[in-house]
């Protein structure tokens, strides 16, 4: 890969991560629920971490990337909200969450394609980033399901294993 091509890839990825951060900060600001606000701010923080990882990789520094911590508390938060029935979604909430899901899917696909084409060091980092985006997708998918059907969400066994994801 030429240096210009690599630079373009990193610029594209960094811009996408910044857009993700903006979207999550916007969703956090819109949410009246403290727990949902916290989830969106954590997702935005993850996007900031991804920008730093990309910058390091761009400078030929092998970055370290820890798995997102946002999933840890989400299960309990959603279970608590479902039991208390204290969550009210705005009218366009599902559309915005779907936009966030689509953004994460595109990022995952982008990073996976980069991982498939990269050499060892970069391959590992791009694979980790793809995994991060997959975990974000999983969380947002469950947020969409929760908003759509909070009662059914409680019975969903898949989300009950969130800690394992």
Task: Indicate if the alpha-carbon torsion angle 94, 31, 70, 73 is positive or negative.
Answer: negative
Cβ partners under 8 Å of residue 21, min gap 6: 44, 47, 48, 51
SS (H, E, C) 69-83: CHHHHHHHHHHHHHH
- Identify whether 122 is part of a domain: yes
- Match 């915005």 to its residue by tokens: 96
Burial class (CB in 10 A: 0-12, 13-18, 19+), 159: buried
For residue 107 the two structure tokens come to 């990022």
- Identify whether 156 is part of a domain: no
> What is the count of structural domains for the chain?
1
Cβ atoms 27, 100 nearer than 8 A: yes
- Identify whether 142 is part of a domain: yes
> Looking at residue 157, what DSSP letter applies?
T
Cβ atoms 130, 65 nearer than 8 A: no
Can you tell me the distance from the alpha carbon of 44 to that of 22, in angstroms, rounded to the nearest whole number? 7
The percent of residues in the chain predicted with pLDDT above 90, rounded, is 41
Q: Structure pTM?
A: 0.81
Per-residue confidence band for 84, with pLDDT thresholds at 50, 70 and 90: low
- Identify whether 63 is part of a domain: yes
The model's pLDDT over 24-50, given as tens digits with 9 standing for 90+, comes to 999 999 887 788 888 899 999 999 999
- Identify whether 55 is part of a domain: yes
- Identify whether 155 is part of a domain: no
* Domain containing residue 12: CATH number: 1.20.1260.10
* pLDDT reading at 92 higher than 50: yes
Give residue 16's domain range.
3-149
């Amino acid at each position: 890969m030429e240096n210009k091509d690599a630079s373009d890839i990193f610029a594209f990825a960094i811009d996408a991560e910044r857009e993700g951060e903006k979207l999550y900060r916007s969703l956090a600001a819109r949410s009246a629920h403290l727990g949902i606000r916290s989830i969106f701010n954590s997702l935005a923080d993850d996007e900031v971490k991804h920008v730093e990882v990309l910058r390091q990789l761009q400078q030929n520094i092998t970055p370290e990337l820890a798995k997102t911590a946002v999933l840890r508390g989400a299960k309990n938060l959603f279970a608590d909200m479902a039991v208390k029935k204290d969550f009210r979604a705005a009218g366009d909430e599902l559309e915005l969450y779907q936009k966030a899901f689509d953004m994460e899917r595109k990022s995952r696909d982008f990073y996976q394609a980069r991982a498939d084409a990269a050499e060892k060091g970069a391959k590992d980092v791009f694979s980790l980033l793809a995994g991060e985006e997959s975990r974000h997708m999983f969380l947002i998918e469950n947020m969409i399901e929760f908003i759509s059907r909070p009662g059914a969400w409680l019975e969903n066994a898949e989300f009950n294993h969130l800690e394992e994801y």
